[in-house]
A = this chain, B = another copy of it.
Amino acid sequence: MGQQGQEIDSLSFTDVEIDDPFWSPRIRTNRDVTIEYQYEQLKESGTLENFRRAAEGLSGGFSGMWFQDSDAYKWLEAASYVLATEADPDLKSRVDEVVELIDAAQEDDGYLNTYFTLVEPGERWTNLHIMHELYCAGHLVEAAVAHHRSTGEHSLLDIATTFVDHIEDVFGDDDFDGAPGHEELELALVKLYRVTDEERYLDLAQYFVDVRGHDADRFRWEIEHADEVAGYGEGKALDKGPVKTFLDDNGEYDGSYAQAHVPLEEQTTVEGHSVRAMYLYAGVTDLAMETDDEIPVAVLEDLWHNMTERRMYITGGIGPEAEHEGFTEDYDLRNEDAYAETCAAIGSIFWNQRMLEFTGEAKYADLIERTLYNGFLAGIGLNGKKFFYENPLKSSGDHHRKGWFTCACCPPNAARLFASLGGYLFGQDENSLFIHQYVGSNVSADVDDSTVDLELKSDLPWSGDVTIDVTVSDKSSFPLCLRVPSWSEETSISVNGEPVDPTVEDNYLILEREWTDDRIDISFEQTVREIRAHPDVESDAGLVAIERGPLVYCFEATDNDRSLHQYVLPRDGQFEAEHRESLLGGMTILRGEASIPDLSEWESCLYRPVRKTEREDATLTAVPYFAWDNREPGEMRVWVRGEE
């Protein structure tokens, strides 16, 4: 049963059990290390203490960032996803404890934000552009929905709905209009609608989308009256720094930082803070699915084209600029100073999953795959305890993952994605089953009056070999649609050992037959590809990147003798893949022909005419980009010089 206007319903994370040689250890580390570690951080950073103080009716003594409540909510969301697929009484009791704390901290009228309760109780809703009350509310709602779907309980859901009802009252006032400074609540309200069937939550989400970017918007007023609003001033959360993110070079108001420069339907380029942008687009796509409205999705498709054709790293990372954590201009894809925040990659996965659901187009699943294996996965250290906030594509060796951040948005965001990865793999429409991502797993779905069990085994990302065992409760004929990854140059497929040649629609193989108990074997060919960037990308001029299967590779100093800028890949050079079980838990490395300069000609000489090539043969070794900075520190590059 798809939603209205929705092509393909994703199968829920609650119905998918992941069992995959690549992903399962990472999900295990996420559960055993990251979620534990993050719980400790909730305590150490004072996040839980903020709730406790608010619950006890204390004043002041707020610790950390003013939106730090959201760390607890994201942890709850991740922990809830874990509880959906495994019994874990210890984790469950800590979840219960945190939920109780939150419950106690909620004010009598439903309001819930410990910064305001403790520091500026009289200043609620006066500073929407930066104070993140609605952003935190969104994460509360997402946690509540996850908690309810995993446990069946209503405790956190009740807290969330009470707060949302209060928000509805505040923003229902005809004299007060405003949008969230950091989008998030929009998509959360659609989730809330989906578990409650309360249409007013959809209406509130639509209101927040519609009010954004209008001339008389609240943000403009707040920026112009920054002295009068919450957050700014002695003893408060902030100096006036954030105000300037809402000003253009001439000091005039410009809402593009929060996608509020013009109404969404007039936006044609992805602008501003990239996490904000992704969450907005995800929420709008959700709304469009519920309202069967093609118009906003057409706008989003244009934005998607702008992003993917002009403003996205090859890793799927987005947002090159650190200062406003976001987008700049077409083809600005600087490598060394790339911001490419881990949360933005996660946000892009959220949005693309919804676009995939709405349109059924494989390109969105392709981008999810690219982002998942590269721009997202690089953000998390192999030990599960260290994280990148920024994901540059070039480093001189001084950029390293850290244990935690003052603004700790990325680690818990990664945790909730790992813990809910099962929800990104399979889809279903009225009579078809879809496999979007090849992650080893078991899933059950009701199709055509039959219960279908799929047992998927995948050797991705190291090879393109996939096996699917299909078991049906009753003989059933339905199309099983298998995405052909864009990187597969040749795909071979057999059913029960017999080669088949199914039709392909929009990069989905359509396998339709009367299913009994059947085995499907697929081989997606993985070749090593030398990729160039559009000629307008100055940062990549003269450079090539190496991909194999879904992986973008990179070069690290520890594997290569010379400084990486000295290597040049020849025009038709070959790379050989070699799987090393002993390397970082098992990695396929690539070794390729290259040339390096003959240094003997350069003694005591800084500049000289060189007419002929004075180069010698060398080998260049690459490792998956996601695995970088897990060994000795040193230089790293995704893009290396390649002969034209």
Which residues on A are within 8 Å of B, measured CB to CB? Answer: 305, 308-310, 312, 314, 529-538, 541-542, 545, 563, 565-566, 568, 571-572, 595-597, 599, 602, 604-613, 615, 641, 643-644
Residue of B nearest to A305 (CB): B604
Bound: A613/B529 CA distance, A? 15
17 example contacts (A-B, Cβ-Cβ < 8 A) are as follows: A308-B606, A530-B611, A531-B609, A533-B606, A533-B607, A534-B606, A535-B599, A535-B602, A536-B563, A541-B566, A542-B568, A545-B607, A571-B612, A572-B611, A613-B644, A615-B644, A643-B644
Q: Which of A572, A606, A609 has the most CB of B within 10 A?
A: A606
Q: Is A605's CB under 8 angstroms from B534's CB?
A: yes
CB distance from A106 to the nearest CB of B (A): 46
CB distance from A212 to the nearest CB of B (A): 28
Q: Is A532's CB under 8 angstroms from B309's CB?
A: no
Chain B residues with CB under 8 A of A531: 607-610
Chain B residues with CB under 8 A of A608: 531-532
Bound: A305/B545 CA distance, A? 37
Bound: A310/B603 CA distance, A? 11
Q: Which of A534, A595, A608, A613 has the most CB of B within 10 A?
A: A534
Bound: A605/B595 CA distance, A? 29
Bound: A612/B572 CA distance, A? 8
Residue of B nearest to A538 (CB): B565
Chain B residues with CB under 8 A of A532: 607-610
Chain B residues with CB under 8 A of A310: 606
Q: Is B604's CB under 8 angstroms from A309's CB?
A: yes
Chain B residues with CB under 8 A of A305: 604
Residue of B nearest to A307 (CB): B606
Q: Is B572's CB under 8 angstroms from A542's CB?
A: no
CB distance from A499 to the nearest CB of B (A): 27
Q: Is A541's CB under 8 angstroms from B529's CB?
A: no
Bound: A538/B611 CA distance, A? 20
Residue in B308, B530, B568, B571 whose CB lies within 8 Å of A609:
B530
Bound: A442/B308 CA distance, A? 66
Chain B residues with CB under 8 A of A538: 563, 565
Bound: A136/B260 CA distance, A? 54
Residue in B314, B542, B602 whose CB lies within 8 Å of A542:
B542
Bound: A312/B613 CA distance, A? 24
8 tightest Cβ-Cβ pairs between the two chains A and B: A535-B597, A541-B565, A532-B610, A538-B565, A529-B609, A309-B606, A531-B607, A534-B606
Q: Which of A537, A605, A609, A612 has the most CB of B within 10 A?
A: A609
Residue of B nearest to A312 (CB): B606
Residue of B nearest to A489 (CB): B609
19 extra interface residue pairs, beta carbon distance < 8 Å, beyond A533-B606, A545-B607, A643-B643: A305-B604, A309-B606, A529-B609, A530-B611, A531-B608, A531-B610, A532-B609, A533-B607, A534-B607, A535-B596, A535-B597, A535-B599, A535-B602, A536-B563, A541-B565, A541-B566, A571-B611, A571-B613, A643-B644
Chain B residues with CB under 8 A of A602: 534-535
Q: Is A605's CB under 8 angstroms from B309's CB?
A: yes
Residue of B nearest to A566 (CB): B535
Chain B residues with CB under 8 A of A534: 602, 605-607
Chain B residues with CB under 8 A of A568: 542, 644
Bound: A644/B641 CA distance, A? 10
Bound: A531/B572 CA distance, A? 27
Bound: A613/B597 CA distance, A? 22
Chain B residues with CB under 8 A of A314: 607
Residue in B530, B605, B606, B641 whose CB lies within 8 Å of A610:
B530
Chain B residues with CB under 8 A of A563: 536, 538
Bound: A612/B568 CA distance, A? 16
Chain B residues with CB under 8 A of A606: 308-310, 312, 533-534, 537
Chain B residues with CB under 8 A of A533: 606-607
Q: Is A595's CB under 8 angstroms from B535's CB?
A: no
CB distance from A565 to the nearest CB of B (A): 4
Residue of B nearest to A544 (CB): B610
Residue of B nearest to A532 (CB): B610
Chain B residues with CB under 8 A of A597: 535
Bound: A643/B538 CA distance, A? 17
CB distance from A623 to the nearest CB of B (A): 20
Chain B residues with CB under 8 A of A572: 611
Residue of B nearest to A642 (CB): B610
Bound: A641/B568 CA distance, A? 13
Bound: A595/B643 CA distance, A? 13
Bound: A310/B605 CA distance, A? 8
Q: Which of A530, A565, A605 has the most CB of B within 10 A?
A: A565
Q: Which of A309, A310, A545 has the most CB of B within 10 A?
A: A309
Chain B residues with CB under 8 A of A599: 535
Bound: A545/B604 CA distance, A? 19
CB distance from A496 to the nearest CB of B (A): 35
